[in-house]
């Protein structure tokens, strides 16, 4: 479901399609976000559209555009004459559009059953509320690969169906490979295939809900992932993979084995047929990631997303990341040496960051501007929104944080830095990174 601001394919529908097919159930998997995001990107009113998607504010200027998006999606679904419509919400940001689409679908095909699922149905008690409003028939919490099959087979007592309690899939490697045959993978900016290499995380960062959703870290082995890559390449002739886990190097043994297999494969291929991939990567102490690993990674055409969050060690350690700044510097040096692209994921204005910290962070970037577009491809800086169902949310009183329910409107009363002041800092930091240091910033 829109809107997820990405020009990459979303995996959910393809994952469910293959699980259904395994049980003899026909389905069509649509990535409606891809089409809507394209319309969004070409709109002259993106900020007004964001107001609609994220806050349900309706500006006159976008009424026709929103209406067109809703009817486009509804028609894509209705023309298939579905008996059951499953809508997958990747994030809370999909809730407004889903609500409107369901209202329209209930008018157009009142007899079709609408069921929703995905990580985006949890926030704000959304699933229960939209069911109560009779805009959907049912919802499925948690992993859908098995529960959705049970739902369609009529086993309404199965865990996760119309209930917030659910059981994670026990073994990721017993699931079939996702089926992207309904997607036009060449429709996206860069054709790529999502690959779910693990679930959960080996870290437990207090601001993140991944560890709350999947309490146990599960991974696919190097052999399994590589076989999946070969299968998808054979089917779609696409060689770029998006690892959609929170962490590609959660299991170091399997990770090292996988990158060696990819490097060996690539050595036998022309560049256009080589595998490339991108994924989240945790920074670890230097001895965990020795130089020979970086040399192998160079042969992987990999782009790594470092979840740095804060370059203030005190703040970073407390939020749940135990590496040192010297480890981060080592990683940047290695990626530069071996021409590996990196995205730095930063949070601006973490609750425990002070004004003094803000200045230290700006200086940290100034001191590392030689990495700008020379290994560091992008610095992604986001303000912190406190997510319900996280440790940070639960501990907000302990930290003297008020308005934790408001997403980004929270205030740490000890430091008394207002959301507006954080926004000012956020803009200043982006300016320092982009104008002073020449980083590409998002």
Partner 1 sequence: MNTDLSFFLEFEQGIESVDVVIHDRDKNILADIKQSHNHSVKVNCKIKLSNKISITINNQNNIKSKFVKLSRLWLGNIELNQQTLLQLCEYTPSQSDTKFTTIWNHNGVVVIDLFDKDFTSFLLHYHNHIQL
Least Å distance, CB 101 to partner 1, is: 9
Interface pick for partner 1 out of 99, 181, 424, 434 (rule CB under 8 A): 99
- Site for partner 1 contains 63 (CB under 8 A): yes
DSSP 441: B
User: Phi-psi category of 264—alpha, beta or left, where left has phi over 0 and alpha has psi -120 to 50?
Assistant: alpha
Q: Which is nearer to partner 1, 28 or 108 (CB)?
A: 108
Least Å distance, CB 70 to partner 1, is: 5
Stretch that binds partner 1, among 55-63, 81-89, 364-372, 408-416 (CB under 8 A): 55-63
Least Å distance, CB 117 to partner 1, is: 17
Q: Which is nearer to partner 1, 52 or 177 (CB)?
A: 52
Contact criterion met (CB below 8 Å) for 330 and 336: no
Q: Which residues 6+ apart lie within 8 Å of 394 measured at CB?
A: none
SS3 400: coil
Q: Alpha-carbon distance 11 to 34, whole Å?
A: 12
Q: Which is nearer to partner 1, 388 or 419 (CB)?
A: 388
SS3 349: coil
Continuous segment of H or E residues that includes residue 240: strand 240-243
Which candidate, 335, 350, 251, places its Cα nearest to that of 300? 335
Interface pick for partner 1 out of 133, 156, 230, 295 (rule CB under 8 A): 133
Task: Give me 437's structure tokens.
Answer: 């240091």
Interface pick for partner 1 out of 132, 215, 370, 394 (rule CB under 8 A): 132
Q: Alpha-carbon distance 99 to 73, whole Å?
A: 13
Q: Which is nearer to partner 1, 70 or 432 (CB)?
A: 70
Residues from 269 through 308 that contact partner 1 (CB under 8 A): none
- Site for partner 1 contains 75 (CB under 8 A): no
CA 117 to chain centre: 16
The per-residue DSSP string of 97-144 comes to HHHHHHHHHHHH-TTSEEEEESGGGSGGGHHHHHHHTTS-SEEE-S--
Least Å distance, CB 132 to partner 1, is: 8
- How wide is the angle at C-alpha 272 spanned by C-alphas 270 and 276, nearest 5°? 105
C-beta contacts of 181-188 below 8 A and 24+ residues apart: 181/235, 182/13, 182/14, 182/17, 182/28, 182/29, 182/30, 183/9, 183/14, 183/29, 183/31, 183/34, 185/9, 185/236, 185/238, 187/34, 188/7, 188/8, 188/9, 188/34
- Site for partner 1 contains 149 (CB under 8 A): no
Query: By rule CB under 8 A, what count of residues binds partner 1?
Result: 22
Q: Which is nearer to partner 1, 56 or 339 (CB)?
A: 56
Q: Which is nearer to partner 1, 37 or 100 (CB)?
A: 100
Least Å distance, CB 216 to partner 1, is: 32
Give me the 101-130 binding string for partner 1, x by CB under 8 A, dash otherwise: --xx-xxx-----------------x--xx
SS3 291: helix
Interface pick for partner 1 out of 56, 153, 167, 339 (rule CB under 8 A): 56
- Site for partner 1 contains 15 (CB under 8 A): no
Helix 46-55 to helix 32-41 angle, to the nearest 10 degrees? 140
| Cα-only R_g, the chain | 22
Least Å distance, CB 99 to partner 1, is: 5
Residues from 302 through 341 that contact partner 1 (CB under 8 A): none
The per-residue DSSP string of 178-220 comes to P--TTS-GGGSSS--EEE--EES-SS--TT-SHHHH--S-EE-
Least Å distance, CB 69 to partner 1, is: 10
Q: Which is nearer to partner 1, 63 or 230 (CB)?
A: 63
Q: Which is nearer to partner 1, 89 or 311 (CB)?
A: 89
Stretch that binds partner 1, among 43-51, 79-87, 133-141, 166-174 (CB under 8 A): 133-141
- Site for partner 1 contains 135 (CB under 8 A): yes
Interface pick for partner 1 out of 58, 156, 230, 435 (rule CB under 8 A): 58
Least Å distance, CB 144 to partner 1, is: 22
Stretch that binds partner 1, among 66-74, 166-174, 363-371, 396-404 (CB under 8 A): 66-74
Least Å distance, CB 383 to partner 1, is: 25
In a 10 Å sphere around its CB, with 0-12 CB exposed, 13-18 middle and 19+ buried, how is residue 236 labelled?
middle
Footprint of partner 1 (CB under 8 A): 56, 58, 63-64, 66-67, 70-71, 99-100, 103-104, 106-108, 126, 129-130, 132-135
């Amino acid at each position: 479901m829109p809107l997820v601001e990405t020009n990459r394919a979303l995996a959910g529908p393809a994952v469910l399609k293959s699980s259904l097919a395994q049980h003899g159930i026909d389905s069509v998997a649509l990535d409606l976000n891809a089409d809507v995001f394209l319309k969004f990107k070409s709109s002259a009113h993106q900020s007004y559209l964001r107001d609609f998607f994220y806050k349900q504010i309706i500006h006159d200027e976008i009424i026709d555009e929103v209406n067109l998006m809703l009817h486009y999606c509804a028609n894509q679904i209705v023309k298939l004459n579905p008996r059951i419509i499953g809508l997958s919400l990747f994030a809370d940001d999909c809730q407004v559009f889903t609500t409107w689409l369901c209202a329209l679908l209930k008018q157009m095909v009142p007899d079709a059953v609408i069921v929703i699922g995905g990580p985006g149905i949890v926030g704000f008690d959304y699933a229960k509320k939209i069911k109560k409003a009779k805009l959907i028939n049912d919802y499925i919490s948690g992993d859908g690969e098995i529960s959705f099959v049970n739902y369609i087979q009529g086993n309404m007592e199965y865990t996760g169906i119309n209930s917030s309690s659910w059981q994670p899939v026990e073994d990721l490697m017993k699931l079939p490979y996702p089926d992207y045959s309904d997607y036009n993978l060449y429709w996206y900016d860069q054709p790529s295939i999502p690959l779910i290499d693990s679930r959960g995380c080996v870290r437990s960062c207090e601001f993140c809900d991944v560890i709350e959703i999947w309490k146990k870290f599960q991974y696919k082995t190097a052999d399994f992932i590589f076989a999946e890559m070969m299968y998808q390449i054979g089917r779609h002739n696409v060689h770029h993979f998006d690892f959609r886990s929170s962490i590609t190097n959660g299991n170091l043994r399997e990770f090292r084995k996988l990158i060696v297999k990819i490097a060996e494969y690539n050595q036998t291929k022309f560049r256009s047929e080589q595998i490339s991939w991108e994924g989240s990567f945790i920074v670890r102490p230097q001895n965990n990631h020795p130089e020979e690993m970086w040399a192998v990674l160079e042969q992987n055409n990999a782009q790594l997303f470092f979840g740095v969050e804060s370059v203030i060690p005190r703040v970073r350690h407390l939020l749940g990341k135990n590496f040192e700044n010297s480890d981060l510097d080592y990683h940047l040096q290695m990626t530069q040496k071996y021409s590996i692209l990196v995205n730095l994921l930063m949070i601006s204005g973490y609750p425990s960051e002070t004004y003094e910290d803000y200045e230290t962070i700006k200086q940290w970037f100034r001191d590392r501007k030689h990495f700008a577009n020379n290994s560091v491809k992008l610095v992604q800086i986001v303000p912190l929104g406190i997510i319900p169902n996280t440790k940070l949310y639960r501990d907000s009183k302990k930290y003297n944080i008020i308005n934790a329910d408001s997403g980004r409107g929270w205030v740490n009363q000890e430091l008394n830095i207002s959301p507006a002041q954080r926004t000012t800092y956020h803009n200043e930091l982006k300016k320092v990174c982009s104008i002073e240091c020449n980083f590409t910033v998002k």
